[in-house]
Amino acid sequence: MQIKVLMENTSVRSDLICEHGLSLYLEVCGRKILFDAGQTDAFAENAAKMGVDLKKVDAAILSHGHYDHGGGMLRFLEINAHAPLYIHERAFERHFNGTEKEIGLHPALRQHPRIIRTRDQFEISPHLQLCALNDRKAIFPLSNEHMNRLEGERMLPDLFEHEQYLVIHENGRRIVISGCSHKGVLNLLSWLQPDILIGGFHWKHLQREGEGKAQLYSLAEELKKFPARLFTCHCTGEGTYQFLQPILGDQLSYLSTGMEIEI
C-alpha cells in the first residue's frame, strides 16, 4: 500500500502548500483512491507537483461533512471525469464549531451526479469497505466539545453519524483510514481491531499541562494497549504528537504534506 499526503497542516517540502485540512492519495488493492480533499483546491496543486494524476483516480471518499476535508472535492470532480465520490448520506447536514461558525460542505457539492450516498455499511470491493459504526456504543469518552449540528432551528451536539471510515484488507492486514476519528480513536481501535490506523485523533485542543497533561498521559497509556501501528496527522496537533511520541515510540508516526510512504 502506497500513501501520498497531498494535504495536511504541516509540510516537509517548501514547494508544497499546507493548510488546516487533510487529503490522502492511496494506491491499494489495485485501486487509486482519493481520501478527502483538504479545504481548498490546493491539494490538487500539490498532487501535480507530487506526480499524482488525479484524472486516473478510481474513487474518492469523503470521511465526514466538514469543509477542511471536503472543500476541494468540487475541484477534484472537475479534474476527474469518472470516479464516484462516496459520501455518507448525513454529511450534508449543517455542522458548526460552536454556534456561529459553520464548518459544513459547500451546497453545490450536494447535487453532483457522481456522488454515491452511503449508510452505515458500504462495500466498494471485497477488500475495501466503508463503515460509519453508528450502531456501536462508545467505550471511551469523546472529545468533540463545541461541535454541533443544526436540526431545524435547534442547535444540538454533533454525534458524527456522518463520519465514515475506510477499512482495507490487504496481505492479511486490516488497515483503517480515518479523517478525524470524531467517534474516538480509542473506540475505533476497540471496535475495528486494525493492524494499522491512519488519521487524525482530534486531540489538538487537549491541554498539555496540569490536568490536561495527566489526561494525555492516560490516553497514551490506553493507546499502548493496542498492537496497531499508528500514523497520525491534522487534528491530532503537532504539540499533542510531540507529547505522545516519546511514550509510544515506534508505534506512532506523523504524516505531513509531501510525505510518501509504503506500508
Give 40-85 pLDDT, tens digit per residue.
999 999 999 999 999 999 999 999 999 999 999 999 999 999 999 9
Backbone φ/ψ region at 2: left (φ over 0), alpha (ψ -120 to 50), beta: beta
pLDDT of residue 233: 98
Give 6-37 pLDDT, tens digit per residue.
999 999 999 999 999 999 999 999 999 999 99
Give 203-255 pLDDT, tens digit per residue.
998 888 887 789 999 999 999 999 999 999 999 999 999 999 999 999 999 99
Give 97-116 pLDDT, tens digit per residue.
999 999 999 999 999 999 99
CA distance 181 to 165: 9
CA distance 138 to 71: 29
CA distance 256 to 263: 16
The domain that holds 26 is classified in CATH as: 3.60.15.10
pLDDT of residue 143: 81
> How many domains would you assign to the chain?
1
The boundaries of the domain holding residue 76 are 2-262
Taking each continuous run of H as one helix and of E as one strand, the counts in the chain are 6, 18
In this structure, the dihedral spanned by the alpha carbons of residues 78, 81, 84 and 90, taken in order and rounded to 10 degrees, is: 20
